[in-house]
C-alpha cells in the first residue's frame, strides 16, 4: 500500500484534524514520510493547514476526501479505473482454474459416453442399452456440475439431486475476501485455493507491527525502555542474562528511533531511556491518563500460520471427484478414440496433463507450508519468551522502568493547542483575533510622588 493510500485509508470519509504524530501512530509510517504525505494532500485537496502556539503542525481534511481528490484529478480517476480492471482480471484468473476443471471433466465424460453409445448402436444387441445410455448422457452435464459445486454432503442436506441455475451461479462465482469463512467460498475459487493456497496471511504484518509500536509509545507518553518493546521486534533467542537481554533490546531500538524521531537518554544509573517527543502530540492536546501508566511490556506480536486452503470439506471432496474422474476416464477416452477424431484425443491428453497438475501442485506445497509454519512458530516462540522475561521483571528492570516514569513525569504537560495560524482564514482577521484573545498587560505599579522641595 502506498503512502497516499495509507493516509487516505486512515483519514477515512468523515474528515479529520490531526497532527503528524497522530497520523504516524495511526498508519505506522515514518514521521518524515507522514509529514510529506500530509503536506501533499493539503496542497492537492481542499484541506487546511494550522499552526499551534507550540509550533505543532495540524492538518484539517474535509469529509469525503477521496471523492474530492477523484473529482479534481483525471489521473486519479484513471488510476482508480485501472485498479478495478486489474482486480477483476485477477478474480477471473483465479476462477479460470475451476472453470477449466468443470468444463474439461464434463467434456471428457460426455465424449466418452458418446463414443460408447456409438459403439453400442453399431453392435447387433446394443439397441436397448444404447437407449438407456442416451438418457444417461442427457443428465451427465447437470449431474457433474452439481457434484462439483455442491459436494456429496450438500446434496444429502438439500435432499435433491440437482441445483437450480441461481444456486449454481452463486456457488460457483462467490469469491469472498481474505479471512472469510470457508462455507462462503465458491467452488471455482476453492479450486484455486487448493491448488495455490490463499496468499501470505502475514502480508500486513509490518504495518501492524509499527502501528502497535506507535500506539504503545503514545500510551506511555513517548518514554519507554527497550525491554518493554522487545516482544514486537525481531530479536534472537532471549538470553537468561539480564544484561545481555538489555543490550540486545537496546540495539534493536535503532529502527524505531529512526522511524519515529526518537532520542536515547541516559539515566543516573547509566541505563538507556528512549524518548519520542513527536508522537504524543495531538490535535486536541495530549490526554493525561486518569491513573498511572501501566509499567508492563506490550503483548507479543503473533504471526499467523499458513493454511493449506480455505476450501471447506465438501469443496475438497468435489475437487477430488473432478481430479479422480479426469485421471481415470481420460486415459480410457484416449484409448477408444478413433484416429479420425483428433480433437477428442487432444482433449484427453490435455485432461491427463491438467489432472496431474491439479494433483501434484497441492502435494508439492505441503512440505513448503510445513517449513514456513515451523519458522513462524520459532519466531512466535521468541517473542513470547521476550514477553515472559519482561513480565518477570527483576530489580534492575524495575529500576529502569522507574527511571522512565520519572523522565515521563518531568515532561511538561501539553495543553490543548491554541491555533495561531489557519490557512483557511484571512491573515488580517487572524491577527485581530489573536490580539483580542491576548491577555491585557497588568497596570503599572503605583509610585509615590517625590516629596516637595
357-383 pLDDT, tens per residue?
999 999 999 999 999 999 999 999 999
Q: 3-state DSSP call for residue 420?
A: strand
Q: What pLDDT does residue 66 have? A: 83
For residue 296, name the pLDDT band (cuts at 50, 70, 90). low
CA dihedral angle for residue 193, residue 195, residue 201, residue 204, rounded to 10 degrees: -90
For residue 178, name the pLDDT band (cuts at 50, 70, 90). very low
List the grid coordinates of 52.
499551534
In this prediction the pTM is: 0.76
For residue 18, name the pLDDT band (cuts at 50, 70, 90). confident
Pair (179, 111) in one structural domain: yes
Pair (265, 400) in one structural domain: yes
d(CA 229, CA 212): 10
* Structural domain span for residue 229: 208-287+295-304+378-410
Does the residue 417 lie in any domain? Answer: no
Q: What pLDDT does residue 346 have? A: 94
CA dihedral angle for residue 202, residue 204, residue 210, residue 215, rounded to 10 degrees: -100
Average pLDDT of the chain? 79
Q: What pLDDT does residue 177 have? A: 39
Pair (260, 314) in one structural domain: no
List the grid coordinates of 235.
530479536
Non-local (6+) Cβ contacts of 363 within 8 A are: none
Pair (176, 236) in one structural domain: no
Which pLDDT tens digit goes with each residue over 253-292?
999 999 998 888 888 888 889 999 888 766 555 444 434 4
Pair (99, 196) in one structural domain: yes
Q: What pLDDT does residue 179 have? A: 39
Q: Is 408 exposed, middle or buried (0-12, 13-18, 19+ CB in 10 A)?
A: middle
List the grid coordinates of 403.
527511571
For residue 117, name the pLDDT band (cuts at 50, 70, 90). confident
Alpha-carbon distances of 306 from 201, 245, 358, 364, 449, rounded to whole Å: 6, 30, 20, 15, 90
pLDDT at 326 over 60: yes
Query: Smallest Cα–Cα separation from 106: which of 299, 375, 321, 384?
Result: 321
Pair (239, 321) in one structural domain: no
Which pLDDT tens digit goes with each residue over 187-245?
888 899 999 988 889 988 999 999 999 989 988 888 899 999 999 998 999 998 888 99
User: Are 59 and 43 a contacting pair, CB within 8 Å?
Assistant: no
Pair (270, 341) in one structural domain: no
Q: Is 384 exposed, middle or buried (0-12, 13-18, 19+ CB in 10 A)?
A: middle
pLDDT at 101 over 70: yes
What's the domain count of the chain? Answer: 2
Q: What pLDDT does residue 79 have? A: 87
Angle at CA of residue 105, ends 193 and 194, nearest 5°: 10
Query: What is the mean predicted confidence (pLDDT) over 282-305?
Result: 64
Pair (248, 230) in one structural domain: yes
Pair (106, 240) in one structural domain: no
Amino acid at each position: 500500500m502506498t503512502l497516499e493510500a495509507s493516509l487516505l485509508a486512515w483519514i477515512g470519509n468523515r474528515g479529520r484534524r490531526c497532527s503528524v504524530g497522530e497520523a504516524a501512530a495511526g498508519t505506522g509510517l515514518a514521521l518524515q514520510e507522514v509529514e510529506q504525505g500530509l503536506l501533499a494532500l493539503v496542497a492537492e485537496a481542499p484541506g487546511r493547514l494550522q499552526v499551534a502556539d507550540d509550533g505543532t503542525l495540524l492538518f484539517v481534511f474535509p469529509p469525503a476526501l477521496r471523492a474530492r481528490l477523484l473529482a479534481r484529478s483525471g489521473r486519479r480517476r484513471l488510476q482508480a479505473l485501472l485498479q478495478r480492471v486489474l482486480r477483476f482480471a485477477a478474480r477471473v484468473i483465479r476462477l479460470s482454474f475451476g472453470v477449466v476443471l468443470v468444463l474439461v471433466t464434463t467434456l471428457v465424460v460426455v465424449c466418452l459416453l458418446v463414443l460408447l453409445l456409438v459403439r453400442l448402436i453399431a453392435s447387433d444387441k446394443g439397441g436397448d442399452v444404447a437407449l438407456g445410455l442416451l438418457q444417461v448422457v442427457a443428465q451427465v452435464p447437470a449431474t457433474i456440475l452439481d457434484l462439483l459445486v455442491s459436494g456429496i454432503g450438500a446434496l444429502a442436506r438439500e435432499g435433491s439431486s440437482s441445483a437450480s441455475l441461481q444456486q449454481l451461479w452463486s456457488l460457483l462465482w462467490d469469491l469472498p475476501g481474505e479471512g472469510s469463512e470457508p462455507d462462503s467460498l465458491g467452488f471455482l475459487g476453492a479450486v484455486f485455493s487448493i491448488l495455490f493456497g490463499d496468499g501470505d496471511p502475514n502480508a500486513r504484518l509490518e504495518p501492524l507491527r509499527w502501528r502497535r509500536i506507535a500506539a504503545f509509545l503514545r500510551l506511555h507518553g513517548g518514554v519507554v525502555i527497550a525491554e518493554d518493546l522487545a516482544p514486537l521486534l525481531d530479536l534472537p533467542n532471549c538470553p537468561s542474562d539480564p544484561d545481555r537481554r538489555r543490550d540486545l533490546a537496546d540495539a534493536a531500538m535503532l529502527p524505531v528511533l529512526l522511524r519515529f524521531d526518537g532520542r536515547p537518554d541516559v539515566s543516573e544509573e547509566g541505563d538507556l531511556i528512549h524518548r519520542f517527543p513527536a508522537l504524543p502530540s495531538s490535535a486536541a492536546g495530549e490526554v493525561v491518563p486518569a491513573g498511572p501508566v501501566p509499567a508492563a511490556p506490550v503483548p507479543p506480536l503473533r504471526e499467523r500460520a499458513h493454511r493449506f486452503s480455505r476450501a471447506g470439506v465438501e469443496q475438497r471432496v468435489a475437487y477430488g471427484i473432478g481430479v479422480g474422474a479426469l485421471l481415470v476416464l481420460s486415459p480410457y477416452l484416449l484409448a477408444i478414440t478413433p484416429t479420425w477424431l483428433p480433437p477428442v484425443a487432444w482433449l484427453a491428453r490435455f485432461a491427463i496433463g491438467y489432472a496431474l497438475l491439479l494433483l501434484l501442485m497441492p502435494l508439492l506445497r505441503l512440505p513448503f507450508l510445513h517449513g514456513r509454519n515451523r519458522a513462524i512458530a520459532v519466531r512466535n516462540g521468541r517473542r513470547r519468551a521476550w514477553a515472559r522475561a519482561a513480565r518477570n521483571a527483576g530489580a534492575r528492570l524495575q529500576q529502569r522502568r522507574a527511571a522512565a516514569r520519572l523522565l515521563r513525569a518531568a515532561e511538561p504537560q501539553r495543553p490543548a493547542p491554541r491555533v495561531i495560524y489557519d490557512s483557511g482564514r484571512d491573515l488580517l482577521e487572524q491577527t485581530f483575533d489573536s490580539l483580542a484573545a491576548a491577555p491585557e498587560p497588568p497596570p503599572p505599579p503605583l509610585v509615590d510622588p517625590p516629596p516637595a522641595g
